[in-house]
Amino acid sequence: MLNLFRVQFARSRSFRKFDHGAKRNNELYGSHEPPLYNFAELKKFKFPKYLFRGTKDSVVSERDFQILVDSLDRDTTFDHHLPEYAHLDYVWGVNSDVILYHKLGDILTEHSPISP
């Protein structure tokens, strides 16, 4: 599925919902083309948004990541840069527990409605 998404993104150069083909798109989306994701809509939601990116990511370019960051509310968006991380290292990285998971735990604890 990831490869299909990468091909779709490369062809359209836009971040859209999955392209199922004209007939199925019409059924699902009401259009032959899949709709664009509208990240700018997230600006109106004032909850914290944490973005993590790696310097070795071959799926999301620095330019595309910056477009996403620029479309979000700066007051509630936090960008975490992970040197030497690739796209799947977030799940499979041998040091994800040290570099990432503790940070995620801290974020979830900080914003939990239930006191620890």
Question: Are both 48 and 27 inside the same structural domain?
Answer: no
Residue 88 confidence (pLDDT) above 80 = yes
Evaluate the CA torsion angle 48, 52, 53, 58 in order and state its sign. negative
Q: How many domains does the chain have?
A: 2
Cα 71 to Cα 9, 11, 41, 48: the distances in Å are 18, 22, 9, 14
Where is mean pLDDT largest: 3-17, 38-52, 93-107? 93-107
For residues 16-23, give the mean pLDDT: 90
pLDDT at 32: 95
Residue 2 confidence (pLDDT) above 60 = no
Question: Are both 21 and 72 inside the same structural domain?
Answer: no
Cα 36 to chain centroid distance, Å, stands at 14
Question: Are both 61 and 108 inside the same structural domain?
Answer: yes
Residues of the chain above pLDDT 70, percent: 87
Question: Are both 51 and 78 inside the same structural domain?
Answer: yes
Question: Are both 9 and 59 inside the same structural domain?
Answer: no
pLDDT at 63: 84
Find the domain containing 83 and state its range. Answer: 39-116
For residues 9-18, give the mean pLDDT: 72
Question: Are both 22 and 46 inside the same structural domain?
Answer: no
**All residues at 6 or more sequence positions from 69 whose CB lies less than 8 Å from its CB, including other chains:** 51, 77, 79
pLDDT at 7: 60
Question: Are both 1 and 14 inside the same structural domain?
Answer: yes
Question: Are both 31 and 58 inside the same structural domain?
Answer: no
